Each structure stands twice: as C-alpha cells, then as structure tokens.
Amino acid sequence: MKKLLLVTTLFASSALLPAFAADYKIDHEGAHASINIKASHLGFSVLTGRFNKFSGTFSYDENNISAAKISVKVDTSSFDSNHAMRDKHVRSDDFLDVNKFAQATFISTKVTDQGNGKLAINGNFTLHGVTKPMTIDAVKVGEGSDPWGGYRLGFSGTATISMADFGFKQDYGQVDLELHIEGIRQ
C-alpha cells in the first residue's frame, strides 16, 4: 500500500512540473502572428507597415531558456503599408529590392533569460543581402491549451535596425520592428 501511495503521489506531483523543451511552428496562417515596421517618412511622419507572408519555428524550454532556438523567414515582396504605390516603391531597388532579395531571415544565436518573462534574443538578421547581428527584446505573453486540442506559446518583441547598415539606396535612418509571435507546439 505504501508503494502504491508513493507512486500515486509521484505521478500526481509530476503533472505540476513545467514542460520540457518543445518545438513550435509560428502560426502565421491563422493570423496569430505579425511582423510590423515603423520608419520615418522624410522626417515628417511615421510610416507603418507589415509583412504578410512569413514562416518560422522555435524551440523553448522554460527550465533551460538559453537552449531556445528561433528561425524565421520573411517574404519581402509581401510588404504591405495599405497603400499600393508606396508598397511598390518600398519593394523597389530603392529599398527592399525584392526581385533580387526575395527573403529576409532571422536565426537566433543566443537567448538570455532576463527574469519576469523577459528575454534578450540575439541572432543574425539578413536583409537586402546583408547579415548583421540583431537583438530582440522579447517578453513571454502566455502559454496553454487552445480550443482545438493544441498547445500554444506566445511572445512579443521589439528591435531596431539602421537602414544604412543594410545598404538601401534610400536611407531614412532607423526602422523599428514590432513582433508578435504565437507558436503551435508540434
């Protein structure tokens, strides 16, 4: 009877332990993720836009955050600022040059737990044929079971890049990235 009680107690307490490392697919198809930008427009106002097509994966273990890995691919031709003529210009060789550089990527190299759900995600960002280090300041939004029988984990993050670092013909300074990522456990 003592053995049965011990096994039952161990099993019940193991259900309370945090999950181990899991792999997630970014849910861009369900529109539960977004990659947004903000940039100066000639110094007069702020241009906002987003990329409509992207994909990615990440692995995450709350008990070993430094082992986390993130990989994202962005279709640069999917840039959308809700203005067709501006989008055509941003996609041109003055900026993204999507005919030559159809994809931007981010591959993490290090993830640091900063406490209270905050993370510093370091990685290599490739845009316009140039790869530069980038740090994303991220925060864990939440995790749990979804209504469709899956399990989800979400983060939001921000980063800033300099247009000059990526060799654009037109340079209006910095571009702020705002990222909202929800992953479905695989």
**CATH among 2.40.128.110, 3.30.110.40, 3.40.630.30, 3.40.190.120 for 20-185:** 2.40.128.110
Residues constituting the chain: 186
pTM for the whole structure: 0.86
Strand partners, 118: 115, 139
What is the DSSP code string of 63-90?
Answer: T-GGG-EEEEEEEGGGEE-S-HHHHHHH
8 A C-beta contact, residue 152 and residue 141: no
The predicted-structure confidence for 65-93, as pLDDT tens digits, reads as follows 999 999 999 999 999 999 999 999 999 99
The predicted-structure confidence for 100-155, as pLDDT tens digits, reads as follows 999 999 999 999 999 999 999 999 999 999 999 999 999 999 999 999 999 999 99
pLDDT given at position 171: 78
- pLDDT over 50 (residue 13): no
* Identity of residue 63: N
CA 80 from chain center: how many Å?
18
- pLDDT over 60 (residue 45): yes
- pLDDT over 70 (residue 3): no
